[in-house]
Amino acid sequence: MKIAILISSRGTNMQALVKACEADGFPAEVVTVLSNNPDAAGLDFAKKHNIDTKVINHRDYEDRESFDTDVSDYLSSKKVDLICLAGFMRLLTSDFVNRWRDRIINIHPSLLPAFKGLHVHERALESGTRFTGCTVHFVRPEMDDGPIISQAVVPILAGDTADSLAARILVQEHRIYPHALKMIAEHKVKVHGSVATIEDAPQTEASLTNPFVEN
């Protein structure tokens, strides 16, 4: 499966995806890394890994539609099968998302549908919730919406700050994003309306409590 990764800055999730795709037998390859920011540090990482890079600077466009059209046309020229958003800080237009429907995935640092948008970790801490996490999902025109593919749960600990919580969640993002990509590339993920189902997905009845409860 040929994938494109879209970034806006350092792209640590992009790096996790690239490293996964370099492993023997992984069913996907990164054919391009695209950024809307010419100064994105992640572009250098991609070049060092012999991946084609492309900059389409959104500041050169008068509107979102024309920017999205050029991005979409470029991805089509690369014969991309799947788009992975990895810290791509642009809202995509409905026309773009619908053109690539069920072929765009994103990772968000919360347990969607909770805490959509920005300042996620601060809001989680302020809410008093005991758990948060991250979510890989198919993209829909609405922000941070779409069928959920994979999630990881992270407990909020006493004394957590937004930075400490973000760091622990990022570790899980780097685990579940490559795994979600692998399942999609193996054609195990199917979308039925607003729900994604996974063929032969391992399951567990194990549960977490916070505060921890010893049995």
Q: What is the pLDDT of residues 9-31, one digit of tens each?
A: 999 999 999 999 999 999 999 99
The share of the chain scoring above pLDDT 90, in percent, equals 99
Looking at the structure, do residues 74 and 157 belong to the same domain, yes or no? Answer: no
Domain range holding 175?
106-202
Where a domain ends, among 52, 80, 100? 100
Where a domain ends, among 100, 121, 150? 100
Q: What is the CATH number of the domain that holds 177?
A: 3.40.50.170
Looking at the structure, do residues 123 and 59 belong to the same domain, yes or no? Answer: no
Where a domain ends, among 65, 100, 135? 100
In a domain, 150, yes or no: yes
Looking at the structure, do residues 149 and 188 belong to the same domain, yes or no? Answer: yes
Looking at the structure, do residues 124 and 91 belong to the same domain, yes or no? Answer: no
In a domain, 151, yes or no: yes
Looking at the structure, do residues 67 and 123 belong to the same domain, yes or no? Answer: no
Looking at the structure, do residues 93 and 120 belong to the same domain, yes or no? Answer: no
What is the rounded average pLDDT for all residues in the chain?
Answer: 97
In a domain, 207, yes or no: no
Q: What are the tens digits of pLDDT across the range 86-125?
A: 999 999 999 999 999 999 999 999 999 999 999 999 999 9
Distance CA 26, CA 33 (A): 18
Q: What is the mean pLDDT of residues 35-55?
A: 98
CA 130 to chain centre: 23
Domain count, the chain: 2
Looking at the structure, do residues 16 and 79 belong to the same domain, yes or no? Answer: yes
pLDDT score for 44: 97
pLDDT score for 199: 97
In a domain, 143, yes or no: yes
Catalytic, out of 58, 108, 121, 137: 108
Helix (H) or strand (E) holding 138: strand 131-138
Does the pLDDT at position 215 exceed 80? no
Burial class (CB in 10 A: 0-12, 13-18, 19+), 64: middle
Q: Scan for tokens 């199917």, then name that residue.
A: 190
Does the pLDDT at position 214 exceed 90? no
In a domain, 209, yes or no: no
Q: What are the tens digits of pLDDT across the range 59-94?
A: 999 999 999 999 999 999 999 999 999 999 999 999
Write out the two tokens for 198: 């996974």
Distance CA 67, CA 58 (A): 6
pLDDT score for 12: 96
Looking at the structure, do residues 5 and 69 belong to the same domain, yes or no? Answer: yes
Strands 195-198 and 189-192: antiparallel
Distance CA 32, CA 44 (A): 13
Looking at the structure, do residues 96 and 112 belong to the same domain, yes or no? Answer: no
Sheet holding 2-7, edge to edge: 53-55, 29-35, 2-7, 82-85, 104-108, 131-138, 148-155
pLDDT score for 91: 93
Let me know if 108 is a catalytic residue.
yes
